[in-house]
Amino acid sequence: MILGALLDLGVDEGWFRGEIARLGLSGFTIEVRKVESHHLWGTDVTIAVEEDQPHRSLADIRRIIEDSSLSSAVKAKSMEVFTRLAEAEGRVHGIAAEKVHFHEVGAVDSIIDVVGAVLGVSALDVDMVLCSALPLGHGFVRCAHGLLPVPAPATLELLKGVPVYQTEREQELVTPTGAAVITTLASSFGPVPPMQISRVGYGAGKTKSEYPGLLRILLGELEEKRGRKKPG
């Protein structure tokens, strides 16, 4: 949803695809399309894996990212996200971060989601990322480790120190990957500060719900910065 919202906000799709190609991965396709959710339109990104992919460890992902021709800043921030994610998964499963394996379709979707989010924020040339308090669902979700409670244990590890609130929604509202991305990129959490909004983007999710399945991102300038500009 983060990647979809960034593309919806104005990150050029052709540029994004070209940058992702720098990773040197194969056996997948990326579909970007506009979708409707409760009469609101957003951008959906679907990553379809078409070839068998190995289970990849943190070291495997580090090698893919470091061997790519992406910028050093994008490499470093992407690896910061993956390291946080591996450390959280390791803590809840009682293993070292380096021994964590990213099972879901060989981590291809996670790699593109994480690197794509870092690329998108870089392309928008923003000074800082601010995030609202994060909503928590409840219930259970099935993954490679079996049936896990919602929020997933790794998600809660990543959200330590971050403002959250409970909802009545019986579904996963923040995934471990999403939590790793936003807690790495965001400098603070709370209400929208006084700002002048220039653009709004909506990223579509895959889970059906009675609520709009969309993540909203606002792009703008803080009023305190506008006030410091010299006239003329």
| pLDDT tens-digit readout, 105-154 | 458 989 999 999 999 999 999 999 999 999 999 999 887 667 889 999 99
Q: How far apart are CA 84 and CA 87, in angstroms?
A: 5
Q: Is 232 part of a structural domain of the chain? A: no
Q: What is the pLDDT of residue 229?
A: 58
231 pLDDT tier (thresholds 50, 70, 90): very low
Does residue 78 surpass a pLDDT of 60? yes
Pairing of strands 195-204, 214-222: antiparallel
In this structure, what is the dihedral angle of CA atoms 118, 123, 124, 128, given to the nearest 10 degrees?
40
Which region, left, alpha or beta, applies to residue 94 given φ > 0 means left and ψ of -120 to 50 means alpha? left
Question: What's the whole-number average pLDDT of the chain?
Answer: 92
Partner residues linked to 50 by β-bridges: none
Report how many domains make up the chain: 1
Whether the CB-CB separation of 3 and 50 falls below 8 Å is answered with no
Q: Is 46 part of a structural domain of the chain? A: yes
Q: Is 10 part of a structural domain of the chain? A: yes
Q: What is the pLDDT of residue 5?
A: 98
The mean-pLDDT minimum among 22-26, 61-65, 139-143 falls in: 139-143
Q: Is 103 part of a structural domain of the chain? A: yes
Residue 83 DSSP label = H
In this structure, what is the dihedral angle of CA atoms 4, 199, 181, 67, given to the nearest 10 degrees?
70
Q: Is 209 part of a structural domain of the chain? A: yes
| Per-residue pLDDT tens digits for 188-226 | 999 999 999 999 999 999 888 899 999 999 999 999 877
Does residue 13 surpass a pLDDT of 80? yes
Beta-carbon contacts of 75 under 8 Å, excluding residues fewer than 6 positions away, are 65, 66, 68
Q: What is the pLDDT of residue 218?
A: 98
10 pLDDT tier (thresholds 50, 70, 90): very high
Q: How far apart are CA 195 and CA 185, in angstroms?
A: 19
Q: Which residues span the domain enclosing 34?
A: 2-227
Q: Is 85 part of a structural domain of the chain? A: yes
Q: What is the pLDDT of residue 105?
A: 46
Q: What is the pLDDT of residue 143?
A: 75
Q: What is the pLDDT of residue 55?
A: 82
For the chain, give the percent of residues with pLDDT over 70. 95
Which phi and psi angles does 36 have, rounded to 5°?
-105, 140
Q: Is 87 part of a structural domain of the chain? A: yes
**CA dihedral sign of residues 108, 111, 116, 117:** positive
